[in-house]
Amino acid sequence: MPDSKNPNNKNDNEAIKKVTDLTEEVVKGLGFELVDIHFGQHGRQKIVEITIYNPGGSVGLTDCEKVSRELDSRIDLIADSLDFFHGPFLLDVSSPGIDRVLKSEREYKLFTGRKVEIKTKTNVGADPYGQHFTARLVHFGDETFKLSEIGPIQSAPTKSKNSKKHAANKVSQEPVKELKVALKQIIQIRLYPDLQKKFKEIAAENATEAVIDLSAEGSEEVDAKQNKVEVERD
């Protein structure tokens, strides 16, 4: 089951389990993977935040909208029997974002094959790149990451003499091609954005921020930066 944060209430927990199972069914049925689901509350308004992933490509605004509409209609059928959904609630469906921080075993496995940026507590043998480097996530199991294509973090050029010397030292060492790193050594692991590819996708889709008016049942906002759709229900 995806990671979820939920209220400490028996009835709410029952509702959350039903909606989580329903969300998983809807998301998979539409060809996506459920990354995580978060239940919260702001004042009287309940909030359900859902993140979806497309293993075969990117998640666009229309994808978020498709999942949002289908899930909204399915939740509406069972909402009366679930205490958690009495009153207004906000349904938020979004993509993982191009530089999402990975936080669970589910995400480590879900994003296998993707390029990631890694920060470690100590030197883990990723020389000549130190404790901050990029890699391809090959496998996660037994609390250990298997990585390939170890490489440097791309940064803006600098005229500092010390940084030039540091760069020269890096080049002088033979790059590491494969590496195993224990989870306990990881400070942070996040998706490493291929910005050139992303810019091409944005240009192709002519993506812009927009606001879409729905029927009297609610309103829907679209955020092109993360590809997300919010539906507010009364």
Domain boundaries, the chain: 10-97+199-233, 105-192
Per the document, the length of the chain is 234
Residue 221's pLDDT band (boundaries 50, 70, 90)?
very low
Q: Which two tokens stand for residue 201?
A: 């996708």
- pLDDT of amino acid 220: 37
Domain at 105-192, CATH class: mainly beta
Give the tens place of pLDDT for each residue, 73-125: 888 887 777 776 667 778 899 999 889 999 999 999 999 999 999 999 999 99
CA 209, 214, 219, 225: dihedral to nearest 10 degrees? -20
Sheet architecture: strand order including 115-120:
178-182, 144-151, 132-141, 115-120, 186-191
Three-class secondary structure of residue 216 per DSSP: coil
pTM to 2 decimals? 0.70
Given this model, what pLDDT does residue 215 score? 32
